[in-house]
């Protein structure tokens, strides 16, 4: 970071938010791109736009008491960081996972500001969640936790204020329980206050598939720039949750071969291609582990016995699991094995050092704020349908998602060209997202 103004902002972020390494990383990654922007637009500096962007508009932390099946009272902590509403109501998911803390939520909310801006849709940035772990809990325990969580959260959200969605640990089941409690407390069927709902009660077609599909649509545009397609390409996808499964599904539909995937217990290699339908049955219906998938495949799939999923040779790597899963050593291995494209399906899954290794080797790299924006884009489409009491077909919604992802891709490249870094998707995404939000902040005054 060579610009002294930006360095001063970053130093202030470190001082004001001690111990929040992921948040520091997310801020640094954006500020590293903004040197040419503040040089061209001094008004951003004069109005302290960057300093304001780095400080959430509101941070909410609350106690979540609930009773488990054994009658024991359990206590978790809930979070909602409403980061920036210059473009519209706060929008971003809820994550239920033991690692959730205020620093994690702030990093996710900060990323969400720029991701949402890149979609071109009128939504601000926020994020939330809890250190509750739904794994191993009964249906009744998950319901009681969600009801307690919403009993506090409901007073801070609404379709014109803050619209949560799902994330890690929060799928259709959890969204249903959360929405039910909101409806119960408020006596309002306010469909647009939460997205990721079931299709039969206000949800959108393609929402479940959107983040994974969107990541692959973005990579498809990257390939087109090289006059190539997915045909014949080997693809490795980390994770086996919602994003990973539907990224795999779209890769297969477009002619690629997914040769490996993973979960927190290890990874699977299947050289002839992953059977996505079997994986859906294991993960979505049975809530099983990758060992169950391997057993079903009868010797065609193998459990990785050492190393990591990034040791598997691939043309395209899609990290779709969690933050900082792909480090410098993994990146070097991908480069050695001939990987040509890395696109982030998760939020900040690649460390800063890994990103540099990939860039130095000429590997095309799509940051999550661009490549995984399909989920929030389709959430905004769900909000549109709720507002108009309408319902769109799968085909229509998928076309809209494809159009949005193509638009994000093209905006990133055009912005990178404009600011003198042609082909740099990271700089293009950061600058395009930042300027869109910054201009709105200037227009609204010092608030």
Please, what's the b/e burial string for 249-263 (b: 16 or more CB within 10 A of its CB; e: otherwise)?
bbbbebebbbbbbbb
Q: Residue 2 has what pLDDT? A: 67
Q: Residue 280 has what pLDDT? A: 96
Distance of CA 21 to the CA centre of its chain: 18
**pLDDT > 70? residue 1:** no
C-alpha span between 351 and 324 (Å, rounded): 5
Of 171, 348, 356, 162, which is closest to residue 246 (Cα–Cα)?
A: 171
Mean pLDDT of 4-29: 96
Q: Residue 287 has what pLDDT? A: 86
Which pair of structure tokens corresponds to residue 285? 């219906």
Contact 119, 214 (CB under 8 A): no
C-alpha span between 414 and 118 (Å, rounded): 13
Of 359, 328, 329, which is closest to residue 425 (Cα–Cα)?
A: 359
Share above pLDDT 90 across residues of the chain, in percent, rounded to a whole number = 96
Query: CA separation (Å) from 59 to 83, 93, 126, 259?
Result: 8, 15, 10, 42
Of 215, 39, 14, 246, which is closest to residue 115 (Cα–Cα)?
A: 215
C-alpha span between 259 and 410 (Å, rounded): 29
Per domain, the residue ranges of the chain are 4-191, 210-366
Model confidence band, residue 147 (pLDDT cutoffs 50, 70, 90) = very high
Query: CA separation (Å) from 406 to 196, 214, 346?
Result: 22, 9, 19
Q: How much is the mean pLDDT over the chain?
A: 96
Model confidence band, residue 264 (pLDDT cutoffs 50, 70, 90) = confident
pLDDT single digits (tens) 311-355? 999 999 999 999 999 999 999 999 999 999 999 999 999 999 999
Q: Which residue's entry shows tokens 């990654």?
A: 29
Mean pLDDT of 411-418: 98
Please, what's the b/e burial string for 134-168 (b: 16 or more CB within 10 A of its CB; e: otherwise)?
beebeeebbbbbbbbbbbebbebbbbeebbbbbbb
User: Binding site for NAD(+): what residues are annotated?
Assistant: 211, 242
Is 127 one of the annotated active-site residues of the chain? Answer: yes
C-alpha span between 324 and 368 (Å, rounded): 12
Same topology for domains 4-191 and 210-366, yes or no?
yes
Distance of CA 445 to the CA centre of its chain: 30
Q: Residue 118 has what pLDDT? A: 97
Annotated catalytic residue: which of 40, 106, 127, 250?
Answer: 127
pLDDT single digits (tens) 32-53? 999 999 999 999 999 999 999 9
User: Binding site for substrate: what residues are annotated?
Assistant: 91, 112, 115, 166, 379
210-366 to CATH, choices 3.40.50.720, 1.20.59.20, 3.50.50.60, 3.20.20.70: 3.40.50.720
pLDDT single digits (tens) 79-120? 999 999 999 999 999 999 999 999 999 999 999 999 999 999
Burial environment of residue 50 by CB neighbours within 10 A (0 to 12, 13 to 18, 19 or more): buried
**pLDDT > 70? residue 274:** yes
Which pair of structure tokens corresponds to residue 64? 């979540």
Architecture of the CATH domain 4-191: 3-Layer(aba) Sandwich (3.40)
C-alpha span between 225 and 423 (Å, rounded): 10
Query: CA separation (Å) from 326 to 97, 125, 234, 346, 444?
Result: 20, 25, 18, 11, 39
pTM, 2 dp: 0.94
Which pair of structure tokens corresponds to residue 2? 């060579």
DSSP 284: I
DSSP 218: H
Q: Residue 306 has what pLDDT? A: 86
Q: Hey, which residues does 368 pair with through a beta bridge? A: none
């Amino acid at each position: 970071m060579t610009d002294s103004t930006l360095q001063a902002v970053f130093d202030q972020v470190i001082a004001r938010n001690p111990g929040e390494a992921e948040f520091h990383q997310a801020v640094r990654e954006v500020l590293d791109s903004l040197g040419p922007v503040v040089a061209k637009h001094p008004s951003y500096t004069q109005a302290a736009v960057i300093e304001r962007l780095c400080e959430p508009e509101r941070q909410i932390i609350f106690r979540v008491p609930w009773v488990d099946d054994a009658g024991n009272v359990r206590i978790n902590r809930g979070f909602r960081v409403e980061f920036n509403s210059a473009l519209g109501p706060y929008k971003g998911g809820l994550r239920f996972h033991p690692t959730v803390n205020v620093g994690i939520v702030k990093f996710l909310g900060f990323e969400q500001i720029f991701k949402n801006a890149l979609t071109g849709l009128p939504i601000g940035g926020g994020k939330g969640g809890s250190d509750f772990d739904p794994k191993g809990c009964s249906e009744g325990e998950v319901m009681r936790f969600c009801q307690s969580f919403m009993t506090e959260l409901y007073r801070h959200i609404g379709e014109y204020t803050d619209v949560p969605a799902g994330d890690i640990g929060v799928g259709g089941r959890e969204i249903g329980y959360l929405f039910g409690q909101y409806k119960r407390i408020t006596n309002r069927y306010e469909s647009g206050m939460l997205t990721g709902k079931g299709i039969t009660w206000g949800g959108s077609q393609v929402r479940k598939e959107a983040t994974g599909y969107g990541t692959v649509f973005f990579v498809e545009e990257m390939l087109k720039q090289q006059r190539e397609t997915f045909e014949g390409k080997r693809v490795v996808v980390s994770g086996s949750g919602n994003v990973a499964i539907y990224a795999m599904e779209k890769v297969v539909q477009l002619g690629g071969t997914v040769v490996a995937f993973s979960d927190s217990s290890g990874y699977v290699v299947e050289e002839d291609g992953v059977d996505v339908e079997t994986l859906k049955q294991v993960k979505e219906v049975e809530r099983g582990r990758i060992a169950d998938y391997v057993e079903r495949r009868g010797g065609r799939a193998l459990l990785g016995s050492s190393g990591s999923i990034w040791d598997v040779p691939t043309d395209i790597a899609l990290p779709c699991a969690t933050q900082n899963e792909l480090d410098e050593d993994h990146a070097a291995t991908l480069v050695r094995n001939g990987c040509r494209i890395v696109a982030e399906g998760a939020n900040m899954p690649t460390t800063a050092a890994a990103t540099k290794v990939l860039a130095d080797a000429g590997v095309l790299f799509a940051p999550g704020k661009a490549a995984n924006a399909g989920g929030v884009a389709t959430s905004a489409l769900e909000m549109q349908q709720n507002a108009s009491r309408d319902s769109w077909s799968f085909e229509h919604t998928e076309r809209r998602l494809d159009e949005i992802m193509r638009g994000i891709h093209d905006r990133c490249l055009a912005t990178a060209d404009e600011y003198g870094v042609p082909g740099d998707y990271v700089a293009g995404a950061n600058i395009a997202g930042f300027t869109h939000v910054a201009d709105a902040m200037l227009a609204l005054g010092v608030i």
